[in-house]
Chain A
Amino acid sequence: MRRWLSRSFFRQVSVVLLVFSVISVSAYAIHNYYELRRQWNDAIQSQASDVTNLIALIVADDLRYGKTFSLWNKLKSFQEKGEHNQKGALFRFREITVLDSLGTTAGSTNPAGHPLLQPYGAVTATQTDGADSISRIAPIEFGGEKIGSVAILFDITPFKKFLWVHLRDLGVYLFAVTVASVAIGLVLAGWITYPLSSIQDALPLMGSGNIFLSSFDQRQDEYGRLARAIESADKRIHDDAMQIRMHRDTLEETVRLRTNELAASNKELEAFSYSVSHDLRAPLRAIDGFSQALIEDYGNKLDETAAFYLQRVRSGAQKMGSLIDDLLQLSRVTRIEMKYAKADLSAMAEKITHDFMTEEPGREARITIAPSLIAYGDAGLLQIMLQNLLSNAWKYTGKKSPSVIEFGSFAQNDEQVFFIRDNGAGFDMRYISKLFGAFQRLHTEEEFPGTGIGLATVQRIVNRHGGRIWAEGKPGEGSCFYFVLPQAAA
């Protein structure tokens, strides 16, 4: 039923109309019936009393003078007249009885006696009501003295019959009204809902620019306005969509062009880097190689200063070689396509520091690496990052004995913060802003050699992973580098 109802507004309206009509009409009918019955009942009651009093007055004389026959005749004629005249009336006399003051029946239309009035006034009530009859008793007075009583039993079946007929007519009338109102309601509902279906049929075309609700053209009512609103919305959506499509096409073309340009410039950059790494290094090799050849082959012909100068030439060339290497690494770190995977930072750090110790076996160092430091990122880049950070720590603790380097992590605000701490040369926090800049150095070349590109590379790697890096340091006491890498998307 609920599903049946929910499928059509028309059905819902119909049911509501029907229920409302039946309830309201029934309420009216019930009210009307009871009100009518009450009013007419009151009328019957008072008329019955009046008639009884009247008869008591009429028969008083006959009773006083014992004219029994006249009395009985009168009673009889009342009854007959009543039956005759009061056709269509609401009640009839069923029985009229007169008693004298001694309680003896003076006359009655009931041949069987006087069921209503008992001798000696046993009936004390002045009126009784039955289902289809009512009775009235009135005293008979003569000269201010009570000389008897008259009792009348009224038959009210005509009234009951009338009420029933009235109720039936009312029912028929109200049924007709209900049917008519429901019918009118349904026609109205249909009239209201019918245009909706043609609008509904048009809506799937919304945005096509093809909605023409021409059957509504002449209507100035809500439907007319709705139809015109839908038509214009359709056109506007269609036009907007066309524009958006045009913009999108242009945008796609632009993106394609830009991508091509970018790919071209990337390729150029790649070629440039390749060429730098090969061609720029070739002359350096010559400078370094021939200086070495001079020292080795003609060492005995050179004085100390000449040998020293040649040594400076060589170290200059080597320095430029490592600058080129670092620059290339910095640019490769930016270009490389990242492959995300789980990376065991502990294992990487173990291997890197092991290499340091192998290279400088005599150096006293305490290196602590927390186990199972796992990050999510590009293994190659993370390797370069750790290589740079740890080789910094190794380099700047070179003048400490022992060198203390610690790699670990702690949790902070739902993040795993990795840190690499050392007891090395440290740095002044005033220059923190220069720490991660390319070619920025906080120590002289004589103190600690370096290119100033390492930390810039580290920062780029962390940035490419969407992470953060920061540092703390104190001159002469050491430094600590912290970094956070986003966790793997679960």
Chain B
Amino acid sequence: MSRVNAKVPEGFREIADASGFAAANGPWFEKVEGRRVWRGFLPGPQHANALGIVHGGMLAAFLDAALGSVVWRAIDRRCVTMRLTLDYLTPARVGDWIEATGELIGHDEHMAHVRGRLYGPRHDVLGGLGDFALLSTRRQLPVRS
């Protein structure tokens, strides 16, 4: 764990209340400044595909969660993904710090639209566009995803 944490940039803290899929594929880290959020993780062998690069499904899962967090930080609303469009730009390498961020491009009472990207130390890895359904403000989720 200490070896992992040595590569985590300043300002990021581990998302402690992860469960299920997120816990099994973590740890994931987050940095928040005002209403902006960044997320990061350190891919290991368990995140790799047959070529030894990070699995596209893992990158998709991570960016999806990061975009959900973008919505939460921007407008204080929990959400679920309706549609996600991803462009795989370049491979992500095991051992590199991989980071994600995004911006809200619009929302109403029911939907939020987000643009985001995932990048490594050298270049962009994944571009994404997400449509999220906003949950009722009265609805409580047990823990964060």
A binds B: no
Residues of A within 8 A of B (CB): none
